């Protein structure tokens, strides 16, 4: 089956320093869509980034990610962390045909410290 593996558990970064959250995957889908969802405390998940094009950088709200099919990765990065970036981040993938389920990773808790 399909699987998504994220940086496990908790990542702590000092404000102003770069952030990188890892996401790798295994899939049998021929065409795929990738997502990063962010979930702030006591809120619903919301989409942060989406991509389905190999080797194309996608950016939103200062975050960026590039889908690399050669290495089966879709890492999330930001050059300078802000306190407001503290949240739970999920990487997710789905096929793009039919009614395939969205497969989530287990999530990475990002804490930005002053």
Partner 1 sequence: NTKITQSPRYLILGRANKSLECEQHLGHNAMYWYKQSAEKPPELMFLYNLKQLIRNETVPSRFIPECPDSSKLLLHISAVDPEDSAVYFCASSPTGVSGNTLYFGEGSRLIVV
Does 107 interact with partner 1 (rule: CB under 8 A)?
Answer: yes
Cα separation of 87 and 112, whole Å? 9
Task: Name which of 17 and 69 has its Cβ closer to partner 1.
Answer: 69
Q: How far apart are CA 87 and CA 56, in angstroms?
A: 25
- Distance separating alpha carbons of residues 23 and 103, to the nearest angstrom: 12
| CA–CA distances in Å: residue 41 to residues 44, 46, 110 | 8, 12, 11
Query: In the beta sheet, which residues pair with residue 99?
Result: none
The one among 10, 41, 98, 114 contacting partner 1 by CB under 8 A: 98
Of residues 26-85, those binding partner 1 (CB under 8 A): 31-33, 35, 37, 43-47, 50, 52
Stretch that binds partner 1, among 12-20, 25-33, 58-66, 67-75 (CB under 8 A): 25-33
* 78 contacts 19 by C-beta, under 8 angstroms: yes
Q: Does 8 bind partner 1 (CB under 8 A)?
A: no
**Residues engaged in binding partner 1 (CB under 8 A):** 31-33, 35, 37, 43-47, 50, 52, 90, 92, 94-102, 104-107
């Amino acid at each position: 089956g399909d699987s998504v593996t994220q940086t496990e558990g908790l990542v702590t970064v000092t404000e102003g320093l770069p952030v990188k959250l890892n996401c790798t995957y295994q899939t049998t889908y021929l065409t795929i869509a990738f997502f990063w969802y962010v979930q702030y405390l006591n809120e619903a998940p919301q989409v942060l980034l989406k991509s389905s094009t190999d080797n194309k950088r996608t950016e939103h709200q200062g975050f960026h990610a590039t889908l690399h099919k050669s290495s089966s990765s879709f890492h999330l990065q930001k050059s300078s962390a802000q306190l407001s970036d503290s949240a739970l981040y999920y990487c997710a993938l789905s096929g793009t045909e039919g009614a395939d389920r969205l497969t989530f990773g287990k999530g990475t808790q990002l804490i930005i410290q002053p």
